[in-house]
Amino acid sequence: MEKRVCKKSVKELYDSYKRRTGRKISLSKFRKMHPKRSLTVDRHNIQYCLCQYCINIEFVLRTLQVVANTNRIPFSQNTKYKIAEATVCTNLPKCLEGNCDQCGTEILTDKLLAQFRDVLDSTVSWKKWRSGQTKQGERKHKVLVEEKGTLRMCVENLCRQAGTFAQHLFTATWQTDQFN
């Protein structure tokens, strides 16, 4: 699924829902139709979104999981869904739009830094897809690179990316539901 598609706002989804179904419901009612369960239900079957955003988060998680296994650290936010969940609370529409002052990536950062507190200075590497350029400086294409740094940098990198991730997954999941 393309990133562009995944990143639609709730309002955009609402508009396309109205167009597609012809139903007349209010925006607030529409929001209530899509509760947090979209992020939590049926995790193991959800392979919906395989965009660059999701894959890069999973690369970081893979690195953290290896460190957790090696050091016998209980690692609870070890899937992209749990990462997303850790950044939202129950104030839902606002959380997903990034307008909630009760939640956000700080909670996730604190949790991860606490879990990995004993190994934060160790050196790790993680893979990352990023948009690159050809030698001619034209046509952009994606390149797989390897980033290196301390585990703390790795965690901070993940948390920076997690800012709009809940909304992204929620939207991607919701859109896939429409085709099932």
**In the complex, what is the shortest distance from the CB of residue 167 to Zn ion, in angstroms, rounded to a whole number?**
11
Residue among 67, 73, 100, 153 that touches Zn ion (CB under 5 A): 100
Least separation, in Å, of the C-beta of 1 and Zn ion? 6
Mask for 150-169, x = binds Zn ion (CB under 5 A)? --------------------
Find the binder of Zn ion among 51, 112, 154, 158 (CB under 5 A).
Answer: 51
Residue 102 touching Zn ion (CB under 5 A):
yes
CB 136 → Zn ion: shortest distance, Å?
30
Would you say 150 and 123 are in contact if contact means Cβ atoms under 8 Å apart? yes
Q: Which long-range contacts (CB under 8 A, 24 or more apart) does 121-124 make?
A: 121/150, 121/151, 121/152, 122/67, 122/150, 122/151, 123/148, 123/149, 123/150, 123/151, 124/63, 124/67, 124/148, 124/149, 124/150, 124/151, 124/154
103 binds Zn ion (CB under 5 A): yes
Q: Among 53, 126, 170, 174, which residue sits at the site for Zn ion (rule: CB under 5 A)?
A: 53
CA angle 150, 62, 171 (to 5 degrees): 110
Residue 33 is classified by DSSP as T
- Taking CB under 5 A as the binding criterion, the range among 48-56, 106-114, 126-134, 141-149 that sits at the site for Zn ion is 48-56
Among 54, 108, 124, 158, binds Zn ion (CB under 5 A): 54
Q: Which residue has the tokens 């309002």?
A: 11
Strand partners, 124: 149
Residue 94 Cβ vs Zn ion, minimum distance, rounded to whole Å: 6
Q: Which stretch binds Zn ion (CB under 5 A): 15-23, 87-95, 114-122, 123-131?
A: 87-95
Q: Could you list the residues that contact Zn ion (CB under 5 A)? A: 49, 51, 53-54, 89, 91, 95, 100, 102-103
